Amino acid sequence: MLWTEKYGPKNFEEVLGNIKVKKEIMEWTEEWLKGNPQKCLLLVGPPGTGKTTMAHLAAKEFSEFVELNASDKRSYDIIKNTIGESALSRSLFGEGLKLIILDEVDGIHGTEDRGGTRAIGNIIKDGKHPLIMMANDPYSKRLTSLKTKCNVIKLRKVHTNSIVALLKKICVKEKIEFEEHVLRTLAKQSKGDLRSAINDLEAIAAGKKKVTSEDLELIGKKDEIVNIFDSVRTVLKSRNIHHIKDAMKVEAQPNFILELVAENIPREYEKAEEISKAYEMVSLADTYLGRAFQTRAYTYWKYSYQFMSLGVALAKAETYKKFAKYTTSSVYTKLSKNRAKRDLRDAVAEKIGEKLHSSKKVAREQFPYFEIMFQDDEIAYEIATYFGLDDKEVKLFRSKKIKVKKAKPTRKTSAKSKSNTEKDVKKDSEKYSGKSNKPGISKSSKETSSPSKSDAENSKTPKTRKTVKKAKRSQEKEEKTSKDKKAKSGEESSNSDKKDKQTSLFNF
């Protein structure tokens, strides 16, 4: 039997560390046994902190348990057919409750585990039995949808002194002599992983009655996958070059690490000079990172890592022994909030670019000038109608809506304008039809026959006066004859109409 199983805790009291977590799990178990359903538990913490052990200890209180760990395939169909049916069905032993255990849910990925997270979400929603899940990485994106549905409990690493005490106890029971510094070295190398420390002790003590410092050479240094927040904390807290280099052995993109470091510098550093130097190092790291992405020469990454880790760490004159709460980068949250504004800006730039036959970039460069022009209502109205901008798009340049005052004509002015237009229409029609104001006289004859008043007045000789009088008389005679002809023609037409009319029933 392995020592991890042989000397594993038999109850919650024997579990090392995480006292509050143990109490919370015990209370959760008691509430379920009393008939009070509780939210499912999500135990999050690094390996070797006792997540699986405490889940198995809680399972002893229930009638039975069903477990699905990382070695099993965890696709949608498998989880639904195994865990899903167990979550909905009753226990085999009567009315008791079944505890469902899902280990390493943050490791559900790939084609084999497709749809696994969605299936777990359905089990949480429809399940009638208690559920405990475990995960190593609390910041995994796969846990985002599950965290809101569960009670998340974080487990901390086991303290080095607690690990040393347990290793001494094991050596005493196994009757193995030991040097205390050897056990302490094993505890430190485990980085809080109790299971790893026990396995290392079993490896160096196999077939021996004494453990010495020479036996430590059999065990290499543990290659730990560092949490990204632990890496940032080491960079900002420490000035030890070796510790900082070890902390940067983290599985994360360099730009994400850089954003976290830049976000938390003011939370840790207090002096303005130190903050300034630290951000200079961040700027250099960002420069080399940009070159790496642009040129695809990823050898620049090592320079970027040096600036963002050692450069930022050595920017401080001394370490600060205080608690600082680190947060994730606010860049993505700000970008998501401003997405609507950026979409609106791009839409306006596209409309302006189409009219001006320019690119969006050039159109955006003209926005400051548009803001000035949009201060005037009339100009703003003309620009908005020309580019086809709606009210939302206009708000990009001014806060108020465009108010255009249209002049409404009064009744008097409208009546006058109507009469004037009618007169103009009559004059134009008479002009183009060739008729004068007096009936029966054409314009050409009037111009030729009747001389103007100015000519008559200017003529001083009696002969010209006589000719004018004769012309007037002849004109009057012509008018009379034309009137008589019209009257006669009117009488003839009336007589013809009378003749055409039927006078009686027998007159056809």
Least confident of 230-234, 392-396, 403-407, 480-484: 403-407
- Give the pLDDT mean for 402-406: 65
Using 50, 70 and 90 to split pLDDT, how confident is the model at 14? Answer: confident
47 labeled binding residue: yes
**pLDDT top residue among 436 and 209:** 209
pLDDT in tens, 166-202: 999 999 988 889 888 888 888 888 888 888 888 888 8
- Give the pLDDT mean for 118-127: 72
Architecture of the 160-218 domain? Orthogonal Bundle (1.10)
Q: What is residue 269's predicted lDDT score, i.e. its pLDDT?
A: 92
Rounded Cα–Cα distance for residues 32 and 59 (Å): 12
Q: Which residue has the tokens 């990382």?
A: 70
**pLDDT top residue among 188 and 107:** 188
Q: What is residue 427's predicted lDDT score, i.e. its pLDDT?
A: 57
Of the chain, the percentage scoring pLDDT greater than 90 comes to: 16
Rounded Cα–Cα distance for residues 231 and 247 (Å): 5
* Domain limits, the chain: 18-154, 160-218, 228-328, 332-396
46 labeled binding residue: yes
45 labeled binding residue: yes
**pLDDT top residue among 334 and 282:** 282
Q: What is residue 28's predicted lDDT score, i.e. its pLDDT?
A: 92
**The pLDDT of residue 313 is above 70:** yes
Q: Is 131 exposed, middle or buried (0-12, 13-18, 19+ CB in 10 A)?
A: buried
Q: What is residue 315's predicted lDDT score, i.e. its pLDDT?
A: 92
Strand partners, 154: 44
50 labeled binding residue: yes
**pLDDT top residue among 268 and 330:** 268
Of 67, 226, 230, nearest in space to 134 by CA: 67
Same fold, 18-154 and 160-218: no
Strand arrangement of the beta sheet that strand 131-135 belongs to: 64-68, 98-102, 131-135, 41-44, 151-154
Single-letter residue type at 63: S
- With a threshold of 0.75, does the pTM exceed it? no
416 labeled binding residue: no
Distances (CA, A) of 448 to 443, 451, 471: 9, 7, 11
**pLDDT top residue among 357 and 327:** 357
Token readout for 476 is 């009057």
CATH superfamily, with its number, for domain 18-154: P-loop containing nucleotide triphosphate hydrolases (3.40.50.300)
Mean predicted lDDT score pLDDT of the chain: 76
CB environment 189-201: b (16+ within 10 A), e (fewer): bbbbbbbbbbbbb
Q: What is residue 335's predicted lDDT score, i.e. its pLDDT?
A: 67
Q: What is residue 285's predicted lDDT score, i.e. its pLDDT?
A: 93
49 labeled binding residue: yes
